[in-house]
Amino acid sequence: MSTGHVSTTDTPIRPFTAIVAADGAVLASGWTADVDDLLPRVSPSLRPTTLTPRRDLGAVTRAVRAYHAGDLDAIADIPVRQRAGEFTARAWDALRTVPAGKPISYADYALLAGRPAAVRAAATACARNAATLFVPCHRVVRTGGAIGDFRWGVDVKRWLLNHEAA
């Protein structure tokens, strides 16, 4: 049996919830107040059997608040734990190297992940990312700069991109 912790923080966009492992690594996160939007996104092998609500998750909560207040690098050192195949895991790692305010296309993202021809697989890696914000999939846009899809909605993605461009 594993225990995780969950907390929701108010942000300028909407509530942001994070699920973390006992050691503080983010397992899932996003702009929702409903943990049921997040828990199914966690790999079954990592999914906590018990979730304990907390008012504050320490470094994770501080990073969420700091990021939304303008410290765009606050999320960089927060540990994340996800499980997937080799390419998807590499693609998630690559996302963490995309600088704030410098969105890239899905084609560039596939190249960054080491498989230039795997544009659809790169897009799928974005869609499967459970640790949004900390693995900043919002920084990937369509060729030509169109926003594209985002699990938390196009308005949230637009806000994040504008926030990072300011």
Residue with tokens 């890239």: 104
Catalytic: which of 137, 141, 160, 161?
Answer: 137
- Beta bridge partners, 6, equal 19, 53
Other CB atoms within 10 A of residue 53 CB: 9
- What CA–CA distance (Å, rounded) separates 129 from 70? 23
Does residue 137 have an active-site annotation?
yes
User: How many angstroms separate the Cα of 81 from the Cα of each of 25, 47, 84, 116, 120?
Assistant: 6, 11, 10, 25, 23
Phi and psi at residue 8, to the nearest 5°? -120, 135
- Nearest 10 degrees: CA dihedral of 53, 9, 83, 150? 140
* DSSP tag of 99: P
- What CA–CA distance (Å, rounded) separates 48 from 143? 38
Give the catalytic positions in this structure.
Answer: 137
